[in-house]
Amino acid sequence: MSHVRGYVSLMIASVWGVIAMNALGADLSKEKAPEITPFSLPGSEPFVFRKVNEVELRLHVVKPVGWKKGGSKVCLVSFFGGGWNNGTPERSIRWAKWAAEQGMVGIAPDYRTRDRMNGTPEDCVSDGRSAVAWVEAHSAELGINPHQVVVLGGSAGGHVAAWTAVTTAGPGKDDRAPQLQPIALVLLNPVTDTKVSGYGGPKRFNGDESRALACSVLDQMQTKMPPTIVFHATGDTTVPYANSVTFRDKMVSNGNHCELITFEGLGHSYNSSKYGEAGKAADQKTCEQMAVFLAGLGLIQPATTLPQ
């Protein structure tokens, strides 16, 4: 009987081993392939705006109908999100194309994320500010007015976008203060607070509270900021909706124009396909309100074109 029990035990162990291996195989099959840095994107023209050691950072330019070199078009620069960890300009090129449909020059820059380039949040901020500075310095080549640059960003990209309007030196090494502020900011569920009360807190900065504080837009922005529109959903469990309320209130108390468009019940990336028809409707409303906001500043004509 002992040899029978041993045989049964061996069979059970083998079965569980197969199950475990199948489960492992399933898990491995679900692993995402490494992100690839795009050197070009359909419908746009790439430019290298910064070199850091061996890394070349590109931005992707979408030109509107009637564009000409030496022109003075309004420009919209759009930054992708991804928690400073992932993402590429493939996520933000849609807003650059939307901008071109409104008659603006649309630009989607890259920056050093952790997964692709071992970047830190400070690197992301520095690269974003460098991208906008490059755009302004090459305004004639891009056919834009350097004093009419709108900066947009979603999630961590909103953090990068907001920092392009901060007129002091940045939190990273050799991150100089910008010479020009954007004419306006468009922020989608943005990271504005990087302390314990905000997105991730010090754990995103290797437990260093001083780094988290130095990266916090709420704590580092000056009194005068560009006109800003913020979009955020109340059910966001990634970037607290309360942070955008606090940001809006501080902006307004400092005498700035800041609107907060709220989406009830939806979560982070409220305008994405994961929310089905509700997300689609939120995306449409975002486009409409963006157009109204920019038209109110005299930058575009009202439009409601949905980016593809």
Give CA–CA dist 99/80, Å, rounded: 15
What pLDDT, on the 0 to 100 scale, is given for residue 143?
98
How far, in whole angstroms, is CA 223 from its chain's centroid? 23
Higher-scoring residue by pLDDT: 1, 248:
248
pLDDT of residue 82 exceeding 90, the answer is yes
Could you report the per-residue pLDDT of 43-78, keeping only the tens digit for each? 999 999 999 999 999 999 999 999 999 999 999 999
Give CA–CA dist 112/159, Å, rounded: 14
pLDDT of residue 6 exceeding 50, the answer is no
What pLDDT, on the 0 to 100 scale, is given for residue 15?
35
Determine which of 4-8, 159-163, 198-202 has the lowest per-residue pLDDT on average. 4-8
* pLDDT classification of 3: cutoffs 50, 70, 90: very low
Question: Residues 6 or more apart from 143 whose CB is under 8 A from it?
Answer: 63, 67, 68, 69, 70, 71, 72, 73, 105
- Going through the chain in order, the beta strands assigned E by DSSP cover 45-52, 55-62, 73-79, 105-109, 144-154, 184-188, 228-233, 258-263
Q: What is the mean pLDDT of the chain?
A: 90
Higher-scoring residue by pLDDT: 27, 49:
49
What pLDDT, on the 0 to 100 scale, is given for residue 303?
55
Give CA–CA dist 43/36, Å, rounded: 18
Class of domain 37-296 as given by CATH: alpha beta
Could you report the per-residue pLDDT of 250-260, keeping only the tens digit for each? 999 999 999 99
pLDDT of residue 4 exceeding 80, the answer is no
Beta bridge partners of 228: 185, 258
What pLDDT, on the 0 to 100 scale, is given for residue 31?
63
What pLDDT, on the 0 to 100 scale, is given for residue 233?
98
Helix (H, G, I), strand (E, B) or coil at 11: helix
Question: Residues 6 or more apart from 15 whose CB is under 8 A from it?
Answer: none
